[in-house]
Amino acid sequence: MKILLLLLGVVLVCDGHLPLPDGHLPLPDGHLPLPDGRPPFWNNFAKLSGEWNTLLVAATNFDKISNGPFHGYMRKVDVDIPNGRMVFKFSVMMNGLCTEKSAVGTIGRDKIINIGYAGQNNFKILHYTLHSIIVHNVNVDSEGTTTEILGLLGKRLHPDDNDFAKFRELMRENNIPEENLIDMSKTEKCPKKEKGTNPS
């Protein structure tokens, strides 16, 4: 009985959170507690800051990417290390109209980025090189519909053969049909001008 009362006292003092085995308290919103307040994988995330172009996109629900909220063109990613968040700046083409957007993501457990945009999103990076990133997103919209989305972002304006091969491999692993792939580099730009480099 004394042990139970002692445990209850610890929980109350810790504002309802039990300490982890290392003695640290869990942080809010699913963040991992670390002695220096900086997750070790931030060093890799920091490299993602800069300008990016959307090259390929695929989804289990094709409508979401063909003329929906995820028919988007990434512009820039800013990694805010002190605040544990990422800011995405992008444009969306819907019904022929191009709209500038931004969304803020916070880093949660297992390197998953939680983003509030067109519902709730669990966003993670599957593959990274100096010139390209392949991301996976699970979107749950306001109606409770779940859509899995893959996107290839690049420093260049067009995907190369290696990009296509890796992207198609990840499509198969995530059960996304081949016909649900859009080569965004060949679609109408939003806005018309894009920055990037072409392979030499």
Q: How many CA atoms lie within 13 A of 185 on its CB side?
A: 20
Cβ atoms 135, 150 nearer than 8 A: yes
**Residue-wise pLDDT tens digits, 98-153:** 999 999 999 876 778 999 999 999 999 898 888 899 999 999 999 999 999 999 99
- 183 has a pLDDT exceeding 70: yes
In DSSP terms, 151 is beta-bridged to 57, 135
Q: Is 90 exceeded by the pLDDT of residue 197? A: no
What confidence category does residue 187 fall into, taking pLDDT thresholds of 50, 70 and 90? Answer: confident
CB distance 184 to 157 below 8 Å: no
User: Taking a C-beta distance cutoff of 8 angstroms, is the pair 53, 71 a contact?
Assistant: no
pLDDT in tens, 148-159: 999 999 998 999
- Domains belonging to the chain, first-starting first, are 1-26 (no CATH), 42-186 (2.40.128.20)
Contacts of 92 (CB under 8 A, 6+ apart): 69, 70, 71, 72, 73, 98, 99, 101, 190
Q: What is the pTM of this model?
A: 0.73
